[in-house]
Structure 1
Amino acid sequence: MDYTKREMPVCDVCQRPANQTCGGCKIVYYCSKAHQKHAWKEGHKFQCRPYKIEFSDAIGRHMVATRDIKQGEIILKEKPTVSGPRISCPASCLSCNKKLEPIEVDGKLDFYKCTSCKWPMCGLDCEMAEPHKEECKLMTDNNYKCDIKYDRADKMEAAYCVIAPMRVLLLKRSNPRQYESVMSLESHLEDRINTPLYKVLKANLVTFIVRVLRLPFDEETILKVASIFDTNSFDVRSHDGSKRLRAIFVIASMMNHNCRANTRHIYIGNDNNLVLIATVPIAKGEMITATYTQSLYGTLDRRRHIKVNKCFDCDCERCKDPTELGTYLGSIYCSICNGSLANNKSKTEAKMVSTNPLDESSPWRCEACGYCIQSRQMFWGNNALKQELNTLNKSGPKGFEEFIDKYTVTLHSTNHLVIQAKLALMQIYGNYAGYKLTELSDNLLKRKIDICHELLEVADNLEPGWTRFRGTILLELQGAMTMQTKREFEAEIITKAGAQDQLMESMTLLQEATRILRIEPHMKETLETKLQELSTLLDSTNL
């Protein structure tokens, strides 16, 4: 037989034949563990990664897999190059980013203030912490004193708009290499320069940097830094809502957007390190993508949000598909086919879809009868219902159930507004006071289970794989199913064998939820407790 001779890989250190590949990048080979350790110390640890950055005229810089990446694999861990508060936010600590609560100062409520520059802080430890030292000295040397005072809870303070850009500019002296890496990112300043926000920044931010701090930067550079932040920063939030900030991760910023991304990211530690995780298997040569918007927005809202905030037009597969991958998330029922009366008995499933999803001005047409409406009608109706949904009382299910029922003739079961209402109901049923799993009626328990199944079907289409959305739904679903099984067994509706089968199904869901969510530090204890409880239930003769 004729065999084709294959070239033997060689050791990256000594160039001799090798059969051990690097476990990280799967690209380089070694002849021994000793040479692998040597290469790691000599610099491979800075090059070992399952991706590379490529450039094309069409999409600019982007991230591509250099080998097959497994579902759930960590692709990247990165520290923020620079971070800071949002342009406008409640009073927050400049060191640890916590939202501040007032304390009593001289007989009235106010915040603890840095003793030098007077910015609100947590206390002396944060005042002396590294993130605040350089900026504090600069402001103090230039006799600047912050004048933020406690007025009312959740008051938004526009003064914070200067902090993040100032920190980038200070890098030019303290860390020139990091400064250049940030300045090399896309800014889209030409698209923002004449917007109302940037007219305000011209007056406030530029004046603060040039006249107050006397830093040697021109107006264009200062506004470019602000625009780089707006284009590339990640919105970092703690799971308990106590922290929210903006951060630039230079490498992660290279990822392109896709409305059906193949990664998700979390933030860990007090330094808010970004951890990028593959939600589905990613093949060698495939682009690694993230989502810059909310996946539960319809196409009209998603594309407008991306255009306004990131200054480009998304043309991904989902955006090009009038049905949004079969979910019809942004569609409504056709009023002609369904009739206009809520008691119409002949309601059909005919839906309105955009005639050209990549052009927001295109008319919408019924798939069944061909009836058309103008895009502005879709915008107006969508915005009106969004406002109504946002004003609902979020402490209980009543408003959300009434919203779904009220618009049943107009909004189908997977319309994005209905999905958002169902997502709220999934969280309320089983978790809120008065609606804990043990307190739910059998009908409401079944309602929760049905909602979870409906949401899971949407997630499988729009956020497949190991996404936080799917993991959360699975966690809620298994809890409700377990409670339902216990009740049915105790009521002798099912046998012990039937109960064991149903509990095994719940365990399968919980195990998948655990694989998805266990990397998030705040979920570890919850998941371990749920696994132990369900295991005990399965082993118990009395369930």
Structure 2
Amino acid sequence: MEYLKREIPTCEVCQQPANQTCGGCKQVYYCSKSHQKQGWKEGHKSKCYSFKIQFSPALGKHMIATRDIKQGEIILKEKPAVVGPGMSCTAHCLACGKKLTPIEIEEKFDYYKCPQCNWPMCGPECDKSEVHKNECRIMADRGYKCSIKYENADKNEAAYCVITPLRILLMKDYNPKQFESILNLESHLEDRKQTQLYTLLKTNLVTFIKNVIGLPFKDETILQVASIFDTNSFDVRSPDGTKRCRAIYVMASMMNHNCKPNTRHIFLGEDHNLVLLATVPIAKGELITATYTQSLWGTLDRRKHLKQNKCFDCECERCRDPTEFGTYLGNIYCSMCNGPFSNNGLSKRAMLISTNTLEETAPWKCEKCDHYIQSRQMFWGNNALKQELNGLNKTGPQELEEFIEKYNLTLHPTNHLVIQAKLGLAQIYGNYKGYTLTELPDNLLKRKIDLCDELLELAEKLEPGWTRFRATILLELQAALSMQTKREYEDQKLTKEGAQDQLMRSMALLQEAVNILSIEPHMTEILEAKVKELSSQMDAANSI
């Protein structure tokens, strides 16, 4: 009788039999602690991950947890393989990504220009930066001068489409390993070739690279690089919103998309390093996922965005559920069941849901009666209301409140358009001039608290765990509850013990927000100030 021999693990350093595993990734073995330390110093530190990359015909390349990952744990830190402007954008500095403002030059307004290639930049420090060096030299050597001039600060410049593909192509000579790693990423070029954008790119980008700059690349390779950038790049923004660029992170690009992801990512430092964090506990063997769209969009909008921008049809659990986990984020009420003569209460109103969420042309049918409408009617209605919402005056709450009231018989209270209006209100109440917490009357303070509670309940279903959305709402709710407690105690509606209990709840909410956001350096000062302020309130309540 033959027995299968169990493979004996060997030490990463000396290749002798070993029984100690790396505590981080659980995938590498060592024969002793001294060899574990040696292996760490010799390079395992940069490869020690709590995940592995796998391939399957159904999922393609994807990321799998190799051990249990805790909520809030850092899964990956990665430097960008390439950083640059998007295919079309307003005038931005090619070095730091800052949106440019014109300066007065010879009685005219224009941008500062790089002396060598004439591209708009921030100033001399940026035009001499490392990231701009190679492209600047080759453009200057070929006698190319950028022709962008200031006309309108909000004008999108198509000329930027050449920069990032050029940066990737130039890597073939000065960083061939990085070039190959980028070229191995998914491109979806065959899908993109049919689009109007790639018809233009075939003329403009290919002509620039081959004829203007004179680089010896095939048309297919140039378009492949552009398509890889479109498919895999992350939108990187500075916390204050003044800088914006796009970047490829080779390892992070391996994550699959899910409309209910289990991670979030942030960007740290001037080098735009990506930090990937687990928003919920991830069990060993689970997919590690990110979202490539907006969690507060309905299924119609999410799937359309993913198809147009990432070239795939999402079939995740949320997209397959016509109620989106019971939130009805993309649904409307049935006009027949809930007409003017209906006796249905708010909680009993019937909804129109898609008969096949994975087919955009599928009709939408009432959950209770036989009434249905064509999918194109849903698209038209959705787009019309979206335009109306986008056109509202958001410097105050009035028009947002009127929008919610106007469509309360058409849109579910958690329809994505209503939720966007409610999110706007939650931010206006307590923060905007004339509506600060000290200025809010009691009824609007309660309105803010109710809105935050509703948004947190929605977040738990669609974007659970330690997400930035949840942390933002927690901060808004905590501040409103603290103000409400102060007022109710001063009006003798609360006992000392009652006030202390409510302040303890506020502190718990604040502590959770701190746990979520503490990794973001720009939030440190804000969070410390909030904790100090609330601690003072609690001390005052205890001393009475």
- With the shorter chain as reference, the TM-score category is over 0.9
Q: How far 1:154 sits from its partner (Å)? A: 1.5
Alignment map for 1:182-221 (pairs within 5 Å): 182-221=182-221
In structure 2, distance between residues paired with 1:495 and 1:276: 45
1:16 to partner: Cα distance: 6.6
Identify the residue that residue 295 of structure 1 maps to in structure 2: 295
Quote the Cα distance in structure 2 between the aligned partners of 1:406 and 1:38. Answer: 68
* Counterpart code for 1:462: L
Letter in 1 for 2:234: F
- What is aligned with 2:307? 307
Give the counterpart letter for 1:160 in structure 2.
Y
CA offset digits 1:370-399 (Å, max 9, x no partner): 311111111100010011111111211111
Between the aligned partners of 1:195 and 1:16, the Cα distance in structure 2 is 56
Q: CA offsets, 1:143-167, max 9 Å, x none?
A: 1111111112212111111101111
What is the CA–CA distance in structure 2 between the aligned matches of 1:149 and 1:239, rounded to whole Å? 28
Aligned partners of 1:479 and 1:455: how far apart in 2? 15
- 1:23 CA displacement: 3.5
State the distance in 2 between where 1:499 and 1:23 align. 46
Q: Who is 1:442 aligned against?
A: 442
Deviation at 1:46, TM superposition (A): 2.8
Which residue number corresponds to residue 55 of structure 1?
Answer: 55
* CA shift for structure 1 position 29: 4.9
Amino acid at match of 1:85: P
Partner SS, residue 45 of structure 2: helix
**Do the aligned partners of 1:306 and 1:313 also contact (CA within 8 Å) in 2?**
yes
Residue aligning to 1:383:
383
SS of the aligned residue for 1:337 comes to coil
- For residue 526 of structure 2, what is the aligned residue in structure 1? 526
Distance 1:286 1:115, change over 3 A: same
Paired residues of 1:431 and 1:437 also in contact (CA < 8 A): yes
The residue that corresponds to 1:352 in the other structure is 352
Residue 156 (structure 1) aligns with: 156
CA contact (8 A) 2:315 2:358 kept: yes
Residue in 2 aligned with 1:135? 135
Identity %: 69
State how far apart, in whole Å, the 2-side matches of 1:529 and 1:512 are. 15
1:40-439 equivalence runs, <5 A: 40-340=40-340, 348-439=348-439
Tell me how far apart the structure 1 counterparts of residues 257 and 344 of structure 2 sit (CA, whole Å): 43
Structure 1 residues 185 and 340: alpha-carbon distance in aligned structure 2, compared to 1, 3 A threshold: farther
Q: CA offset at residue 345 of structure 1? A: 7.8
CA pair 258-367 structure 1, distance change in 2 beyond 3 A: same
Amino acid at match of 2:170: L
520-529 or 33-42, which moves further after superposition?
A: 33-42
Contact 2:91–2:153 (Cα < 8 Å) also in 1: no
Distance 1:317 1:197 in 2: 31
For residue 288 of structure 2, give the secondary structure of its aligned residue in structure 1. strand
Q: Hey, what does 1:535 align to over in structure 2? A: 535
For 2:515, give the aligned amino acid.
R
Task: Please state how far the C-alpha of 1:24 moved relative to its aligned partner.
Answer: 2.1
Contact 1:340 1:409 in 2 (8 A): no
Are the equivalent residues in 1 in contact too, given 2:429–2:440 (CA < 8 A)? yes
Aligned partner letter, 1:168? I
Letter in 1 for 2:237: R
Structure 2 CA distance for aligned equivalents of residues 66 and 478 of structure 1? 37
Please state whether the residue corresponding to 1:493 is helix, strand or coil. coil
**TM, length-normalised to structure 1:** 0.95
- Name the residue aligned to 2:3: none
Alignment partners' CA distance in 2, 1:31 and 1:59:
36
Given the superposition, is the C-alpha separation of residues 36 and 346 from structure 1 closer, same or farther in structure 2, using an over 3 Å criterion?
A: closer
Is the CA contact (8 Å cut-off) linking 2:8 and 2:17 kept in structure 1?
Answer: no
Distance in 2 separating the partners of 1:479 and 1:464: 22
Task: Describe the superposition over 1:24-62 as per-residue Cα deviations: whole angstroms up to 9, x where unpaired.
Answer: 213445565433221112221132110110000111110
Aligned equivalents of 1:144, 1:394: Cα separation in 2: 45
Equivalent residues of 1:65, 1:285 under 8 A apart: yes
Superposition deviation, residue 243 in structure 1? 1.2
Flag structure 2 segments of 5+ consecutive residues without an equivalent: 1-5
